Each structure stands twice: as C-alpha cells, then as structure tokens.
Structure 1
Amino acid sequence: MTAEAPPAPALPYGRLIPVTVHFDDLDALGLLHNARYPLMAERAWAELWHAHGIRFDGDWAAAGDACNAVKELRITYEAPVTSPGAYAVHLWLERLGTTGLTYGFRFCSADGTVTYAHGTRVLVRLDAGTLRPAAWSEDFRTAGRELLRPAD
C-alpha cells in the first residue's frame, strides 16, 4: 500500500509546486546555498509551464513562449533552510504585459506555511530570430491570467 501525497493547501492566488532539496544543495555550513533558491524557483516554473504545453526542447525556432530572457531578479532571504527534504515554491504572476511579465515566488515549507525566501523575476519574451521583444501567445496569456495575483 502506498501513501498518497497530502493535498496542496488552498492558496488565495498562484500555485504551490513541490520541490526537493538534496544533500548536495547545501553549502559547507549545511545551509541551502543562496544560488539554489532561484534555481528551485526556475525548476518549479518549468514544471508548471510544461503542464501547459510550453517547453524548450532545444529548437529555438520552435521555442515560442519558452524563448525568453531574464531582465531582473530580486530575492530576499528570510530564514535558512538547514536540511534536505520536501519543500515547495509558491508561484504567481505580478504583471502580465504584452512582451514581458513579472512573477513572484516564495521558497517555502511543503505546506506553504513557512517562508524561507521570496522574490520577483522579470522576463521578456524574445523573437528567436532577432532576439528582440516579441508578444506572448494568446495561449500563454490565457494560462498566465490564471496565475495573476489579485490587486491589493
């Protein structure tokens, strides 16, 4: 008999994506290395977008909305992660523009109750041929609207 994973907690916005911290993600002090937090957020976003059929398979000409670049990354560390195990990344969109977006993330406990780090990242959708800003597809925008954080 296998145990089922507990249901994800209800969030007022965004999605909670499970991630795993491995022993080799820790630094010499036994803390999750600072560079791993944005990496975990990136992997969580990749998983979320893959579920919507948006992925990069090595062909830039066919990458579509997966052809994008980071313009800005901001992160604040709130508490150290001191052990390997199950955690989560809470993801949402702060802004969805024509060619860019700002997403928010929280690296948190698996149930979403403890925040270890939080931040934002600005992405710009690029045309694969020119590397100039290009508009997100309507399919991407539809999926993105589901992730928008409500205005305060």
Structure 2
Amino acid sequence: MFKTKNVKLNPDTTDTLVGEGSTFEGKIKSEASIRVDGHVIGDIESAGHVTIGENGSARSTIVARDLILAGKVYGNVEVKGTLTIRATGSLIGNLSAENLLIEAGGVFQGTSKMAVKETSADAASVKAAKTNSA
C-alpha cells in the first residue's frame, strides 16, 4: 500500500524536536540530530548530535555522535565525539566520550571514561613494539 524509499538522513540536520512544555516517554532513535527543549523520560539514540536546551531535561541513557548539554540529564551518556556541558548544563551520571568540554558553571557528577581514537601512527608503533619484542 505505502512504499517507503530507503532514504539516508543527514546526521547534521535536526529532524526531531521535543518542544518546551512537552513531555515524551519512550525511546527516541534517529539517524539525524535531536533537540530537546521539553522533557524526555527514556533512551535517546542519535547518529547525529543531541542538544538538550536550557529548559530541557532528560532521564535517559543517551548515545550520540555529539552532545551539547545546556539543560539537565540524569543518566548515562555515551558520545563518540564531543560532549559539551554549557554553563547552565548539568549531567548527573556516568559518561564515555572522546572529548569533554565543561564551561565554567557547568555541573558533572559521576565517572568519566575518555575513549581514545587509534590513529594509523599508533597502530604502527604498537605493531613495531610487538615485532621488536619477539
């Protein structure tokens, strides 16, 4: 009846917005970016970036490429790129990120794990060390 085309969304465009005054309960999963100015209770997963606005909050596990946090998050965060906690933002939970930026006034309570990207130079030095020790 309805045919859907296999369309690849641009992860740099925002296609999902939870507006101020709105509450969403459930899991949000998107190939594009997500912005939360209201309240989310449930997991958030995005191939793009997630923005939690100043008046936004999430009681969630968040998995995203990048996260900009100006509101409040209660839960664990896994970011493949950069997690930015603005001066008005707070994260109460654990985080895993490649890069972490916390502006003066931003709050983070939890444990952090910094993911390290392996470059080709790193791989070559590890391979050379294994060869030399053998």
TM-score by length of 2: 0.25
Between Structure 1 and Structure 2, the one with more strand by share is 2
Between Structure 1 and Structure 2, the one with more helix by share is 1
Structure with larger RCO (C-alpha < 8 A, sep 6+): 1
Find the structure with the greater CA-based Rg.
2
